[in-house]
Amino acid sequence: MIQLGVNVDHVATLRQARYRGGSGEGMSEPDPVHAAHEAELGGADIITVHLREDRRHIQDRDLDVLVRTVRAKLNLEMAATDEMVGIALKHKVHMATLVPEGRQEVTTEGGLDVKGQASRMKDVVKRLRDGGVTVSAFIDPVSPQIDAAKAAGFQMCELHTGPYAKAFAEAGGDMLRPKLNAELETVAVGGAQIAAAGMRFNAGHALNYFNVVRIAGLPGISELHIGHAIVSRAVFVGMREAVQEMKELMVKAHRR
């Protein structure tokens, strides 16, 4: 059955907008730990947080508490740095997703260049796997990067669905538009290559309540990782309901 990973980073973004430089202690709100609990009650299978080098949203305290309280799988999005590897191993997170990280970006833009950093990736993946952490690569859906991820020892790949989401918005979801069909096919072909290589096929980035159905219906897909759309919906209906709505859409599409 397809699984939903809920990224609670943007709850922390809202908190840090008011409590800049704060650790998330005391009166600081909203608390991403509370959001994670509500997401679990709504049916989240995975809780995802991205601990960035500059600590712009998720703080070390958040991860400390989440490790002790999350009952679902905990996925740490992270740059492939020695600091982050140490943090992942110290906390014994269930899963680590290696992502590119830029200081000026609002959110992760583009996939990780595994092929261009083959030696480094192999070393980082080995250290994490030796520590009992399952490792995923957030990559663009292109064959050389998938081959490189397999060679580096990644157990799963999360395909970057940003271009598909952009094409969906531009086409208004009209699947008769060639560009939209092409972007969906690119993800589908990449997913098939991942599965054929013996890795788990995941996907994420810019997925929302409108465009998620086509991705959730792709053959062999295991996990979708979604944050901004769910947190945005939660502003109006609450986190638990927002997660339930997304999970229902995914499961129905996957069954079809």
pLDDT of residue 256: 86
The answer, yes or no, to whether residue 241 has pLDDT greater than 60, is: yes
pLDDT of residue 25: 55
pLDDT of residue 18: 87
* Residues 2, 255: Cα–Cα separation, whole Å: 9
Q: What is the CATH number of domain 3-255?
A: 3.20.20.70
The answer, yes or no, to whether residue 20 has pLDDT greater than 90, is: no
Please list the helix, strand and coil fractions of the chain in percent, rounded to the nearest 5, in that order: 50, 15, 35
pLDDT tens digit sequence for 205-219 = 999 999 999 999 999
* Nearest in space to 97 (alpha carbons), one of 71, 124, 70, 65: 124
How many CB atoms neighbour CB 162 within 10 A?
19
Measure Cα distances from 204 to 65, 221, 222, 237 in Å.
25, 11, 11, 23
Based on the residue annotation, tell me whether 254 is a catalytic residue of this protein. Answer: no
Catalytic residue among 10, 37, 40, 50: 50
pLDDT tier, 26 (very low <50, low <70, confident <90, very high otherwise): low
Tell me 153's DSSP state: T
The answer, yes or no, to whether residue 7 has pLDDT greater than 90, is: yes
* Residues 233, 245: Cα–Cα separation, whole Å: 10
| Under 8 Å between Cβ of 225 and 7 | yes
Q: Which helix (H) or strand (E) holds 244?
A: helix 239-255
pLDDT tier, 240 (very low <50, low <70, confident <90, very high otherwise): very high
Catalytic residue among 38, 40, 77, 183: 77
* Residues 76, 150: Cα–Cα separation, whole Å: 20
Based on the residue annotation, tell me whether 228 is a catalytic residue of this protein. Answer: no
pLDDT of residue 120: 97
pLDDT tier, 103 (very low <50, low <70, confident <90, very high otherwise): low
How many CB atoms neighbour CB 240 within 10 A?
18
Based on the residue annotation, tell me whether 50 is a catalytic residue of this protein. Answer: yes
